[in-house]
Chains A and B, each alone.
Chain A
Amino acid sequence: MADKTERFTLWYEETDGKDFPLVGKKNANLGEMIKAGIRTSPGFSVTIAANEKFIIDTGIKEKLGKYLEGLGEATYETTKKASAYAISLIESAALPAEIEDDILANYRKLCEFSRTNNVPVAVRSSGAISMPGQMETYLNIRGDKDLIEYVKKCWASAYNVEAIMYRANKGVGFLFNIGVGIPKMVNSRVSGIIFTLNTLNGDPSKISLDVSYGLGEAVVSGLVTPDSFLVDKVTLDTVKTTIGSKETQCVYREGGSDIVQADVPKEQREKLCVSLDEVKELCRLGKVIEDYYGKHYDIEFGIDADLVFPESVIILQVRPESIWNKKEVTARTEKKKDPMERILSQLLTGVKLK
């Protein structure tokens, strides 16, 4: 296999945070999360090198270079013209066969892995420098033809007027290659939230877990009473389980990226929506995230219907827990001179039977 720096595609797990010059920051961060043991949606990056080869082989680089030479002073008007020219060149060019073959071979692997033909993916721009919101991300892309089309659109989005202006302000040149990320769209059978502590009393030895059917929206926005679990963080044994009513669920609209609500059938409502193995795996990932970031975390996840356990358990978003992390912690036990004093005090208290 070719040297990593010369490849046209790299799977997320083949990269880490240091690889941002190869695949862009967003992609590199996903690789880093995987390296930390945090499972995200499976997918791959189209490298910056692929973008470079594309614009050289198709003659776009040369054409753009000549065009810019003849353009004169950079104004909003000229930039707008240059942007339209660049975008039309990119979108109308054909990909070099080796790049296209490489992308499509990976896509087929992703379809196989997801047990789905034409699996929907996201096509996300990923630059080697931070340019928040300047370039495009496309959701719910299916099939070879659309995929290649949208990879080009993504590359082209680096030549949006806003992106070009942003770069100009930062002293970065007009010509700019970016990485593209292609993760599988998460098709959540169930989804929910993990807190890496007992949210009721701040006990750090527990993990609180809320899960309900469908996409995360229903749980996050409080549309349903989810199943809830309290899990021992160290042994991953479930300490307490409550079955929620789970009347409704959010699902993708057929053929679009919109979401719609649907009723949950009665028999589905009355049972737990996740298996104990899934609960364990979610908590294990919760622990990994807490250890990695060094504080209690609030985590959104989905369990993908197209993937096989444990690969199906996917982390969607993580952020620090906002209440208990900030509270001052006081001792829960009384200070005692020695174990003897502790035993005495225990015997005097006894065990209350209410």
Chain B
Amino acid sequence: MAGKTFMDPHDVPTIPGTEGWEKLYPYQYQFSKDDPERAAFESSQIWYYDGLHYPEPHFPFDLIWDEAWSLALSQYNTRHFIIPPAMGIDHRIVNGYVYITPVGIADPEVIGKRIPLFMERAGYYYQNWDRLYENWKKKVTALIAELEAVNFTDLPEIEDISVITEGKGVGSGYTLLKKYDDVINMGLLNWQYHFEFLNLGYAAYVTFINTCNQIFPGVPISTLTKMVAGIDVVMYRPDAELIRLAKLALDTGLDELVLKPLKSGDLMNELARVPAGKEWLAELEKSRYPWFHISTGTGWYHHHISWNDNLDIPFDAIRMRINSIKEGKEVERPTEKIIKERDRIVDEYRKLIKTDDDREAFDQVLGVARTVFPYVEDHLFYIEHWFHSIFWGKIRQVGQMLQNAGFIENANEDIWFLKRDEIKQALWDYTTAWATGVKPRGPSYWPKEIAKRKGIYEKFKEWTPPPALGVPPDVVTEPFTIVLWGVTTDVLSEWLKGEGAEGDQNILKGSPGSSGKVEGRARVLKNVEELADLLEGEILVATTTSPSWAPAFVKIAGAITDVGGPMCHAAIVCREYGLPTVVGTGKGTRLIKTGDLIRIDGDSGIVEILERVNK
């Protein structure tokens, strides 16, 4: 990509009407020229828009997970496992959108010194993977239980008598402030756990991909991912639970009742009136904890509510399943078939290898890729879905308190426009005023500030973040950058091409997510609530998908996402269902309209718009 660069990050203009937007985020997240050395670093790096995690502009509170992973990923690369040539990933925000850059090490001497440390430390994890991973699950589920136990309620008019009789010597105000800190710290700890294995998992995966490419030049990534597919992972469990409940409804003759288009509350009342219905509801409860702690999005935004937050979502999915079963369709994930196919592919490839050395290399990298695969899949459920779903609920409780105290007008909407430290500040205001018996300042301060921030936020939405800023590098060594975001030569040059007018573009390029080719009508869905519009045989076009989208995959003929690499959710699920998929197109949802006739090629990563729908 000789010579071609993106816009300098310092030159991005502020959107009119958003002046002062920097206040919404921590100061270190700004591109700035006040330190020449830091400014030079910023100008020399490639900064790519992290649309994979942030397809929308950032809410000040929700930035917590960005800060959390910025810390956790980087520390594991740099300070724990000492990835020899790769430090962390640095973060900035421009006009509400997060840009990230991998930080490399150029000095061979420094890299050399890091090698023995890496071999010892990472080696220990790879060798003890299963035991450490079992231990990990215990740590994470204990943390979730601890979070579940915290509840936020309004401060009492007077303290309970037990505070006196038991000589507790601690007040509710202090406890509230501490609880808030505790919940925030649990969130950050959760993200420490998140990266305990993931960097190593991705390093193994990259090695697998590239070693296979040496032996079989140009072997498609979609073929390689088939070699590790079919291992039973918990990410499929929520979907399996829906199928279980659908089948149970059919077996017990409850299907007609469940199919009634009722709201979940009404339906559950009706079910509770009949004995079979009661038993079914008991089974539903078993599924709900933990399997319905599934976010309707990626789990990264507060508005990605979970199935448990709105039972209408899983009930609709159960109805779809019942209908599919009645139509005689195969609803279950064809695990056996996938495993058989995986074994066939591995076996045939192995037989094609002509030297013992290559065969040994293949066996080594396949073995380690399979070792890491379950974690790479499963951590999403524990961290981003289960933990996050509960976490957002707890912060909503804090929002309710602040609304009750007049600090904010709408508990569900307003709290997210405060940075987490500002919430702490507001809670101080609230508790000290409560303790003192005076009126707090918050109610006259925050609503105005929040209104202003909402205005800025709306303006952010109108802006299209460029896919990258700065200067593309020659070599990327950071495992995440390669696997998760799918940043490759092709992808970067495609992004550079997209820098001009794109309205007439009829060909989009992304990463091959799942092999095969298909033509069909597009259905562009912005969020999982729109899933009901999806018709049989359509091609799903979405920013990104998550397990909540599961019901979609039994209906569609293929899928396209704006963001994601070969390991993203849509790619994994489509491989399991054998649907052609192109991921990381960057702009599919912008360029494609519902009803357009499109062709996707999951082998080359090309999407063609064949015929535009009449508008």
Interfacial residues, chain A to chain B (CB-CB below 8 A): 198, 201, 203-206, 230, 232-235, 237-241, 276, 329-336, 338-340, 342-344, 346-354
Contact = CB atoms under 8 A, between A and B. Distances in A.
Which of A240, A342, A346, A352 has the most C-beta atoms of chain B within 10 angstroms of its own C-beta?
Answer: A346
B16 to A, nearest CB: 35
Interface string B459-475: 00000000000001111
Contact of A342 (B84, B365, B475, B487): B365
B68 interface: no
B476 A234 contact: no
A122 B370 CA distance: 55
Name the 7 nearest CB pairs between A and B, nearest first. A350-B477, A331-B357, A333-B361, A346-B207, A205-B216, A329-B354, A350-B475
B35 to A, nearest CB: 28
Interface of B: 1, 83-86, 111, 115, 118-119, 122-123, 126, 203-204, 206-207, 210-211, 214-220, 222-223, 226, 344-345, 348-349, 352, 354-358, 360-361, 364-365, 367-368, 472-477, 479, 482, 487-489, 492, 515-517, 603-604
A347 B85 CA distance: 7
A276 B517 CA distance: 9
Given A332-B214, A348-B85, A351-B477, A235 B206 contact: no
Contacts of B211: 333, 342, 346
Contact of B220 (A237, A342, A343): A237
Contacts of B475: 350-353
7 contacts: A204-B216, A339-B365, A342-B364, A348-B84, A351-B476, A352-B474, A352-B489
Contact of A348 (B111, B123, B214, B364): B111
Contact of A347 (B86, B216, B358, B516): B86
Nearest to B472: A353
B340 to A, nearest CB: 14
B472 A347 contact: no
A348 B83 CA distance: 9
Which of B218, B356, B360, B472 gathers most chain A CB within 10 Å?
B218
A78 B220 CA distance: 70
Contacts of B111: 348
A353 B488 contact: yes
Nearest to A287: B348
Interface centre among A233, A334, A347, A349, by most B CB within 10 Å? A347
Given A344-B119, A348-B85, A203 B476 contact: no
A331 to B, nearest CB: 4
Most buried by B among A198, A235, A238, A241: A235
B106 to A, nearest CB: 12
A353 B357 contact: no
A333 B220 contact: no
Given A235-B226, A347-B83, A338 B364 contact: yes
A234 B222 contact: no
Contact of A339 (B364, B489, B603): B364
B474 A353 contact: yes
Contact of A239 (B220, B345, B489, B492): B220
A332 B206 CA distance: 17
B338 to A, nearest CB: 13
Given A340-B122, A340-B126, A347 B203 contact: yes
Contacts of A201: 217
Contacts of A342: 207, 211, 361, 364-365
Contact of B1 (A234, A330, A348, A354): A354
A343 B358 contact: no
Nearest to A200: B217
Contact of B358 (A241, A332, A352, A353): A332
Given A237-B603, A239-B220, A336 B361 contact: yes
B203 A346 contact: yes
Contacts of A354: 1, 474, 489
Task: Give the one of B226, B358, B472 with max A CB within 10 A.
Answer: B358
Nearest to B126: A340
Contacts of B206: 346-347, 351
Contacts of A235: 220, 223, 226, 345, 515
A343 B84 contact: no
B349 A344 contact: no
Contacts of B204: 339, 343
A351 B207 CA distance: 10
Contacts of B473: 353
A346 B126 CA distance: 16
A332 B477 contact: no
Contacts of A344: 84, 115, 118-119
A238 B606 CA distance: 13
B354 A204 contact: yes
Given A329-B354, A347-B83, A234 B214 contact: no
Contacts of B354: 204, 329
Nearest to B204: A343
A7 B118 CA distance: 76
Contacts of B122: 340, 343
A234 B218 contact: no
B364 A336 contact: yes
Nearest to A354: B489
B207 A333 contact: no
B84 to A, nearest CB: 6
Given A339-B204, A340-B122, A347-B479, 6 more contacts: A205-B349, A235-B220, A239-B220, A344-B84, A351-B475, A353-B474
